[in-house]
Amino acid sequence: MTLHVVHAWELPLTPGGAGPYVVLGRPPEDSPKLDKIELAVQREAERVVDEALGEVEGEAADVEIEREVVQEAAPQALLHASASAELLVVGSRGRGGFAGLLLGSVSQQCAHHATCPVVVVHPGGGNS
């Protein structure tokens, strides 16, 4: 069995997004700054995945783990991953107002458009 972990991020980042960065566009004079921001966000995303995988290391020794960190919108990255998956598991942060009380916008898009079954895990839903 293979577990494929996908972590997606994209620019522009806004407050409350993937980090403390605010990028409103890509003016040519800011390209070196944006390259540094992109590299920093990519490294942080990889660190987040490494940390998460470190927490479950040894839980299922017979499971092969593949990791993927992509600069892409989360719904598109996850839907792309669902094309070759048997099951798509996504989290829900519940930040979508009244309409998002049950499903967030990413989990909603995955539930409606994935090409495989989808499980949405809500915060505090674990047994730990």
pLDDT tens sequence across 32-68 = 566 788 888 899 999 999 998 988 888 877 888 999 9
Q: Categorize the per-residue pLDDT at 20 as very low, low, confident or very high, splitting at 50, 70 and 90.
A: very low
Query: Which residue did the predictor score with more confidence, 101 or 88?
Result: 88
pLDDT number for residue 103? 54
Residue 6: closest CA among 57, 56, 51, 45? 45
CA 120 and chain centroid, separation: 13
Residue 105, token pair as written in the block: 């916008």
| Beta pairing class for 88-91 and 118-121 | parallel
* Planar angle of CA 7, 13, 19, nearest 5 degrees: 65
Question: Would the CA dihedral through 14, 102, 1, 60 be positive or negative?
Answer: positive
pTM above 0.75, yes or no: no
pLDDT number for residue 1? 83
